[in-house]
Structure 1
Amino acid sequence: MNRIVLTAVIMLNAIVSFSQNLSLKWETDTLFLKPESALYNPVDKVIYISNINGDYLARDGNGFISKIDPDGKIEDLKWCTGLDNPQGLGFFRGNLYVADIDRVVRINVKESRIEKEFKIEGAQFLNDITIDKNGDIYVSDCRKNKIYRISDEVVKLWSDDPGLSTPNGLLCTDKNLFILNMGRGDVFIGDKAGKQLTLFCEGIKNCDGIVSDGKDGYFISGAWQGQIFHLNAKGEKRLVLDLGEKKIITADIEFIPEHKLLIIPTLDKTVLAYKWE
């Protein structure tokens, strides 16, 4: 009898998981200037948005970071300025870290100012950032096919594995590092200790951002075609949102488990939020 009940529960959970979909919750005002990445700060309950505001890789000082609340209200459009090409974001112990062409900048959140930069020699297009529980920062260079790590404020090359092909989105777990290969549309898992890369999923064109769904799955954006995929713990994928017909780009995403919200910067003028239910 217990086995029958257990089997039924497992099947029910599988059905519920499969039936979950994304529905539009809100869209911000059209004030953003090429918003690329989103990151939730669980301490202050705000969402940071990086704005490129110009041509890619232009050293024009036009880039900035915005703050919005979980309801989509813009709290401060130009909360922190003075960046060139701000892309991926990471948060650790009161500091926001931003990938900016060939440097990672650290922003003091309380003072909303850049207080330190980590120059990465030879880098050409730093893209995404992820930070583990120890505070080690991983950042991808999608043009040089490299991943760097900043540990104890020291920059070192973490991987230039031949399997890397335009590495973009990154996500740290306790033991591993998920890596999106935008060039080939596949997802690798890197062992943070041995740095061996293992294929986790393939067939996601233009894969850009990856976030945990708060349980044992993941969301991945297919940026230029405007798609969002959900992956289970085995790497099996399902298309859960397609904005291609509306010509909406899905860039570097964020998921807020407590609100069940997927935040999508569009690289245009708005940020979207979709409810996972």
Structure 2
Amino acid sequence: MKKLTLFWFTLLIPFITFSQSITKVWESDSLFLKPESAFYDSSKKILYISNINGEYLAKDGNGFISKLKTNGEIEVLKWVDGLDNPQGMGLYKRKLYVADINRVVQINTETAKIEKVYHIDNAIFLNDIAIDANGDIYVSDCFGNKIYKISNGKINIWNESDFLSKPNGLLCTKKDLLVLNMESKTAFAINKLTQKYHQIFSGIDNLDGIVSNGKNGYIVSGAWQGQLFNIDEDGNKTLIIDLGKEKIITADIEYIANDNLLIVPTLNKTVIGFRLGK
């Protein structure tokens, strides 16, 4: 196994006006296989990384979940395997939920065993998961232009409004579900009770991941062009990282606010950690 490669230099992007400096602090060993999504388990201080490991949407059983330490060291490469096309993840009461084409897989984080599978037969490409404080699970169907909800073990179509346009990344706030649309380059907030909605921002290509920035805004990824943006509370966007020239993809990100650590799966072989300083 190769030794972990560490980087301790400040990323120089001269046209960025974001108030925080960005430092690339580590890049993992090149052992991941299409790492798509990162999710932080604060109770265990560990990151879960979903690996597609095959062709997109192939039901090949090659997909797996890894455990990654916050210093970039891979703890377990194939912690849970036998998945097809694992994408976004969510956590509730020590259960990890993974979007996997047309099913949501429930994994016990204590035993690393798949405990339950929610089959959503009409789904085309389940992409991301967000779970609220009540344990309600929201799942985006990117190609089906729907958002499903799993509540008390029951699966229903929660939203299929016209403003959904290849919905990808999801994030729950106290009142709203935030949705990123890849096709229309827009983001919307949908009230979880009334389903009234409003647009947050627009104009970012290939919207993929969305996380809280630890303040009153968000960090979002434009995956295929390798860009990361800060979105303030008024919906203003600022480019903070551009990895396009290096041909690095920025997929479904995670942000650990207490450590100012931004985790970027590259959909290639590595995961990168960036420190956001003041």
**Deviation (angstroms), 1:121:** 2.3
SS of equivalent residue, structure 1 residue 258: helix
Quote the Cα distance in structure 1 between the aligned partners of 2:57 and 2:203. 28
- One-letter amino acid of the structure 2 residue matched with residue 256 of structure 1: I
Quote the Cα distance in structure 2 between the aligned partners of 1:223 and 1:79. 25
- One-letter amino acid of the structure 2 residue matched with residue 237 of structure 1: K
Quote the Cα distance in structure 1 between the aligned partners of 2:143 and 2:197. 19
Quote the Cα distance in structure 2 between the aligned partners of 1:207 and 1:124. 19
> Which residue of 1 is the match for residue 229 of structure 2?
229
> Which residue of 2 is the match for residue 125 of structure 1?
125
Quote the Cα distance in structure 2 between the aligned partners of 1:18 and 1:155. 41
Question: Taking structure 1 as the reference length, what is the TM-score of the superposition?
Answer: 0.93
1:252 matched to 2:256? The reply is no
**Deviation (angstroms), 1:261:** 0.4
Quote the Cα distance in structure 2 between the aligned partners of 1:122 and 1:272. 35
SS of equivalent residue, structure 2 residue 111: coil
Quote the Cα distance in structure 1 between the aligned partners of 2:81 and 2:22. 33
> Which residue of 1 is the match for residue 165 of structure 2?
165
Quote the Cα distance in structure 2 between the aligned partners of 1:138 and 1:263. 22
- One-letter amino acid of the structure 2 residue matched with residue 170 of structure 1: L
Q: Deviations over 1:47-82 (max 9, x none)?
A: 000000000110110000000111000000000001
Aligned length: 261
**Deviation (angstroms), 1:181:** 0.4
> Which residue of 1 is the match for residue 112 of structure 2?
112
> Which residue of 1 is the match for residue 56 of structure 2?
56
Seq. identity, %: 56
SS of equivalent residue, structure 2 residue 245: helix
**Deviation (angstroms), 1:272:** 0.3
Decide which structure has the larger Cα Rg and report it: 1
1:38 matched to 2:72? The reply is no
Matches within 5 A, 1:82-97: 82-97=82-97
Quote the Cα distance in structure 2 between the aligned partners of 1:62 and 1:129. 21
> Which residue of 1 is the match for residue 66 of structure 2?
66
> Which residue of 2 is the match for residue 178 of structure 1?
178
- One-letter amino acid of the structure 2 residue matched with residue 36 of structure 1: E
**Deviation (angstroms), 1:236:** 0.7
> Which residue of 1 is the match for residue 80 of structure 2?
80
Matches within 5 A, 1:168-247: 168-247=168-247
Q: Deviations over 1:200-254 (max 9, x none)?
A: 1001110100000111110000000000000111111000000000000000000
- One-letter amino acid of the structure 2 residue matched with residue 147 of structure 1: I
Structure 2 gaps, min length 5: 1-16
Question: Taking structure 2 as the reference length, what is the TM-score of the superposition?
Answer: 0.93
> Which residue of 2 is the match for residue 275 of structure 1?
275
Superposed structure 1 runs of 4+ greater than 4 Å apart: none
SS of equivalent residue, structure 2 residue 199: strand
**Deviation (angstroms), 1:18:** 4.0
Quote the Cα distance in structure 1 between the aligned partners of 2:70 and 2:117. 29
- One-letter amino acid of the structure 2 residue matched with residue 214 of structure 1: G
SS of equivalent residue, structure 2 residue 259: coil
SS of equivalent residue, structure 1 residue 245: helix
Quote the Cα distance in structure 2 between the aligned partners of 1:107 and 1:32. 20
- Higher relative helix content: 1
SS of equivalent residue, structure 2 residue 258: coil
- One-letter amino acid of the structure 2 residue matched with residue 261 of structure 1: L
> Which residue of 2 is the match for residue 5 of structure 1?
none
